[in-house]
Amino acid sequence: MSATSDPRSLPATPDFDAWPVDHAITGISHDDRQLTIDWQDGRKSRYHSIWLRENAADDSTVNLATRERILDLSQLEAWPTIGEARLETGGAVTLELLPERRRLSFHPGWLRAHDYDNETDAEAPLVATTHWRGAERSEPTTLDASGWMDAEHDATSTDPLLEKALEAVIGEGLVRLRNLPTDPGSLDVIARRIGPPRPTNFGHLFDVRAKPDPDSNAYTSIALPPHVDLPTREYQPGLQLLHCLENDTVGGEAIMMDGFAVAEALRESHPTHFATLTRVRWCYANTAKTSDYVWFDPMIKLDARGEFNEVRIADFLRGPLMAPFDDVEPAYAALMALQRLLREPEFALRFSYAPGDLVIFDNRRLLHARDAFDVSQGGSRWLQGCYLERDEARSRLRMLYRARRRARVASSVASGN
């Protein structure tokens, strides 16, 4: 916190976050449509007058109870311009916006954090994505969660273990927590520390264990090939949680692989096949006894930035290919090239579940599989699972970062800095 900025005297921001002032403002200048700020570290930032007007924190711009915008720019008398700009002694910037003649003050920490003039990638992910191959590691990123469920946490408190876990999920696609309770149903409480679970036709929580009359291969003891869950949905679940309650059977080793690393390898070795799988829309179908889910999408999807966004790989949930006639043979050739890569041992990370283990993984990125297990000699393999959305993980991680920023501000106030 800069000594020139007292957080108790700074203006509100148009959100509920805390914005430490790590760099003081040393000077400002303006013309009608632009404010320029000089910072203590030498940075120069420019802000448009219309952007400043829309992002003010007063009650003509936002509902102060919700911090949601109520201003309709089109109802202003004219394009907002800057009539006056002043740097306050406490570090804030106060503007007079014309033609309203409205005086609006801006928090320096908030302005710095939203410096779009110097931001090189405003849409960069919260955590940098790291592609990996199973041969490069002996186990998933693993955290000891002993006692974690005994501590009280709410949406505004810090939680270092959960912060590390979510950073691993977002960055690597996978994390394992160990030494959690093994009470049936406790997964719901664990999941809600991230966000509300997403119910599906398999239930709010689902039991992954062999059972009579199964409605999914997962509910048998047979081996499962690498796949994502529910590619049959328009929006397949973003995260999956699997919590081991019991495991004393022979076999059933878990297998995880980074679908993005596999897709990247396909792009490098067979660029034409890669392009085909980003273009051809496959049929994904789960035509069960009591439901009938069908969706069409490519196997590999990129986002607007050209980065990997999701894979839809699950051979046992593909329906008949209904592509244009001339696409059929290229599509199958690309599929078989991908299938050959999925059998390469270098991509697979293998590990066993112990009771109290929980894995959280990105279901739109990570492929999971398992070896067959033997129940004929007794014993039990019981996992409980649920789904969440990627949005919940990102929101929760932002809240954890916010809690740390608030703690920094509070510490600064307490120390008088």
As a whole number, mean pLDDT of residues 237-254 equals 92
Q: Kindly report the average pLDDT of the chain as a whole number.
A: 93
Structure confidence at residue 2 (pLDDT): 44
For residues 45 and 36, the answer to whether their CB atoms sit within 8 Å is yes
Range in 338-342, 346-350, 380-384, 386-390 with the lowest mean pLDDT: 380-384
Percent of the chain whose pLDDT exceeds 90: 80
pLDDT at res. 272: 98
Give the position of tokens 């800069």: 2
Say yes or no: do domains 1-122 and 134-397 share a fold. Answer: no
Average the pLDDT over each of 331-335, 356-360, 375-379, 406-410 and give the range with the smallest value.
375-379
Q: Encode pLDDT of 177-230 as tens digits.
A: 999 999 999 999 999 999 999 999 889 999 998 776 776 777 777 888 999 999
Q: For the residues 125-148, what does the mean pLDDT come to?
A: 95
pLDDT score for 163: 97
The pLDDT of residue 5 is 59
CATH fold of 1-122: NE0471 N-terminal domain-like (3.30.2020)
The strand ranges marked E within 135-238 are 142-144, 174-178, 206-208, 224-227
Instruction: Examine the pLDDT at 300 and tell me if it is beyond 90.
Output: yes
**109 — pLDDT class (breaks 50, 70, 90):** very high
119 HSE (CA, 13 A, CB side): 12
Who's near 127: CB < 8 A, 6+ residues apart?
Answer: 167, 170, 171, 397
- What is the average pLDDT across 270-284? 98
**How crowded is the C-beta side of 170, counted as CA atoms within 13 Å?**
22
What does the pLDDT read at residue 236? Answer: 95
Amino acid at 172: E
**412 pLDDT higher than 80:** no
Closest-CA residue to 262 (of 135, 388, 125): 135
Superfamily of structural domain 134-397: Clavaminate synthase-like (3.60.130.10)
Chain segment 60-105, per-residue pLDDT in tens: 999 999 999 999 999 999 999 999 999 999 999 999 999 999 999 9
Whether residue 3 is predicted with pLDDT greater than 70 in this model: the reply is no
**Are 373 and 221 within 8 A, CB to CB?**
yes
Distance separating alpha carbons of residues 376 and 88, to the nearest angstrom = 77
Which residue type sits at 117?
Answer: D
* pLDDT tier at 251, thresholds 50, 70, 90: confident
Q: Quick check: 416 pLDDT over 80?
A: no
Domain ranges of the chain: 1-122, 134-397
Show Cβ contacts of residue 98 under 8 Å, excluding neighbours closer than 6 positions: 80, 81, 82, 83
pLDDT over threshold 80, residue 321: yes
Mean pLDDT of 107-130: 91
H or E element in which residue 94 lies: strand 93-98
Residue 129: per-residue pLDDT: 94
**pLDDT score of 353 more than 70:** yes
